[in-house]
């Protein structure tokens, strides 16, 4: 069953088309990831789905409710964890939850049980009476997840949930998210620009300049690249590119001082290539594709180089 159905969703900010007629569906119980560089339109999309921003065009249904016409029903149906902290630091963990539960109409008789349940889920039960100010960044994030769950939403939205956290805390947070999926069949919609995190998703949509450029499981996306990635370093990379392009019919990209392309069976292909090639080669690398490579082959850009906010056109390097 589709729990989110997005049709032609569009958002304009003046001249900028931040989200450009985006359509997709999310199934019940899956972790759906929105992947892309900063400024790709991920947060704008999630904000429209969470009814924080009004779309310029199109619509989306969440649990059967329209984000345009039934905002309050949508708000009851979703839990939201924002990109930036949104807890009251002067209140205790429990007070933050109670505030949320009351605004979302959780029945009084259910509140205690649910509060304990969600706090235990994120291992904060023992800290429930502590002021949030004393919490670490990771604990605050977990408390926000608990808060987003206490009104029993159908979908949990996580907007860049691990941004600003150290690698260990990030991994721990992922344990909780995966536990949610396995123990409670929670549907999770998240955005990230960390490629390794996208691997946890059941399906990912890769977004670039307001459009979805690919949507599939991480495994399928990587399979599309056609097997293995070969990277060759050479001081004469222009000459090498010419030579390789003459010999192979696969697109070859320049990546810094190296060339990169995909082949079906790299282990067999590489020795043959090195025997034949005339141009001087300094180093060779053979590896399995990552989502980074998928992104690179789809957009011609490397997602990691786009960390800085980028609203306009990125440099379209090496795209044939």
* Residue with smaller CB distance to other proteins, 90 or 305: 90
| Residue 250 contacts other proteins per CB under 8 A | no
* Residue with smaller CB distance to other proteins, 51 or 297: 51
Instruction: Tell me the per-residue interface mask from 85 to 124 with other proteins, x by CB under 8 A, - otherwise.
Output: xxxxxxx---x---xx-xxxxxx-----------------
Q: How far is the CB of 69 from other proteins (least distance, A)?
A: 14
Which of these segments, 9-17, 32-40, 144-152, 227-235, binds other proteins (CB under 8 A)?
Answer: 144-152
* Residue with smaller CB distance to other proteins, 105 or 167: 105
* Residue with smaller CB distance to other proteins, 105 or 320: 105
Q: How far, in Å, are 29, 40, 58, 187, 244 from residue 32 at the CA level?
A: 9, 17, 20, 8, 38
DSSP letter, residue 303: G
Instruction: Tell me the per-residue interface mask from 27 to 56 with other proteins, x by CB under 8 A, - otherwise.
Output: -----------------------xxx----
Could you give the residue ranges of the DSSP H alpha helices within 199-299? 218-223, 237-247, 266-276, 291-299
The residue among 225, 208, 210 whose CA lies nearest residue 291 is 225
- Cα(286)–Cα(28) distance, integer angstroms: 38
- Cα(95)–Cα(129) distance, integer angstroms: 8
Task: Kindly determine how many residues on this chain lie close enough to bind other proteins according to the rule CB under 8 A.
Answer: 35
Under 8 Å between Cβ of 66 and 235: no
Instruction: Tell me the per-residue interface mask from 120 to 139 with other proteins, x by CB under 8 A, - otherwise.
Output: --------------------
Interface residue with other proteins, options 38, 63, 169, 224 (CB under 8 A): 63
- Segment 66 to 85, residues that bind other proteins, using CB under 8 A: 71-73, 75-77, 80, 82, 84-85
Residue count of the chain: 320
| Residue 154 contacts other proteins per CB under 8 A | yes
Here the tokens at position 223 are: 């399979």
**Terminal CA-CA length for the chain:** 41
* Strands, E assignment, the chain: 2-13, 16-27, 31-35, 57-62, 65-66, 78-81, 155-159, 187-192, 203-208, 211-216, 228-233, 253-255, 258-263, 283-287
| Residue 266 contacts other proteins per CB under 8 A | no
Contact residues for other proteins (CB under 8 A)?
Answer: 50-52, 61, 63-64, 71-73, 75-77, 80, 82, 84-91, 95, 99-100, 102-107, 147, 151-152, 154
């Amino acid at each position: 069953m589709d729990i989110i159905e997005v049709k032609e969703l569009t958002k304009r900010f003046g001249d900028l088309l931040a989200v450009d007629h985006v359509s997709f569906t999310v199934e019940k119980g899956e972790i759906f990831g929105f992947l892309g560089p900063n400024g790709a339109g991920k947060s704008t999309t999630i904000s429209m789905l969470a009814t924080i921003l009004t779309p310029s065009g199109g619509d989306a249904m969440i649990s059967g409710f329209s984000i345009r016409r039934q905002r309050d029903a949508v708000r009851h149906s979703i839990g939201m964890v924002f990109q930036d902290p949104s807890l009251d630091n002067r209140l205790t963990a429990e007070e933050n939850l109670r505030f949320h539960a009351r605004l979302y109409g959780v029945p009084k008789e259910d509140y205690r049980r649910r509060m304990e349940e969600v706090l235990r889920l994120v291992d904060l039960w023992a800290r429930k009476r502590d002021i949030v100010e004393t919490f670490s960044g990771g604990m605050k994030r977990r408390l926000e997840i608990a808060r987003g769950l206490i009104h029993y939403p159908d979908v949990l939205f996580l907007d860049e949930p691990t941004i600003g956290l150290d690698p260990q805390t990030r991994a721990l947070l992922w344990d909780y998210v995966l536990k949610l999926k396995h123990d409670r069949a929670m549907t999770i919609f998240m955005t990230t620009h960390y490629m390794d995190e996208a691997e946890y998703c059941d399906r990912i949509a890769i977004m670039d300049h307001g459009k979805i450029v690919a949507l599939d499981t991480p495994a399928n996306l990587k399979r599309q690249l056609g097997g293995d990635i070969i990277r060759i370093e050479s001081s004469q990379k222009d000459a090498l590119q010419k030579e390789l392009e003459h010999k192979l019919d696969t697109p070859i990209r320049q990546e810094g001082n190296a060339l990169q392309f995909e082949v079906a069976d790299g282990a067999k292909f590489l020795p043959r290539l090195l025997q034949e090639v005339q141009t001087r080669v300094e180093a060779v690398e053979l590896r399995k594709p990552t989502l980074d490579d998928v992104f690179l082959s789809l957009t011609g850009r490397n997602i990691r180089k786009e960390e800085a906010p980028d609203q306009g056109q990125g440099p379209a390097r090496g795209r044939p």
